[in-house]
Amino acid sequence: MKQSDIFSLILVAGIGTLAAFLICNKLMGDPNMAKTEFKELKQAVTSDLQAPDAEVYNIMSLNPTIEVYVGDCVDIDQNGILDTAELVACGKKDASEVEGEGEDGSDEGSSDSEGE
């Protein structure tokens, strides 16, 4: 590039920057002269807690974060898991099946072991 080309580029960039600055200043105006208008509140804000509007908050709606069980089983303790006692209560498991199970769900007292 020649020296005149570099000078032309600097001149065009300077004029463009100055023009952009002046246009932005004209559009946005002086920040010291800016005014804000607002309306007064119709009623004062209180710290009272009110029940939510029934149209907005539906207490019977489904919560997608909770596991849903279809059928007779009810998660009594509402921990998201059907425990053995809850499965027995709804009829999915027999009480006789539960007696032989240990903590980890394996049959400790079964007589079906291969070593006999």
**Higher pLDDT among residues 27 and 53, named by residue:** 27
The fraction of the chain above a pLDDT of 70, given in percent, is 73
pTM to 2 decimals? 0.29
Taking only the tens place, the pLDDT of each residue in 29-59 is 887 888 888 888 888 888 888 887 777 777 7
d(CA 68, CA 58) in angstroms, rounded, equals 18
CB 101 within 8 A of CB 108: yes
Closest CA to 80 of 91, 93, 64, 96: 64
Taking only the tens place, the pLDDT of each residue in 86-108 is 888 887 788 777 665 654 444 44
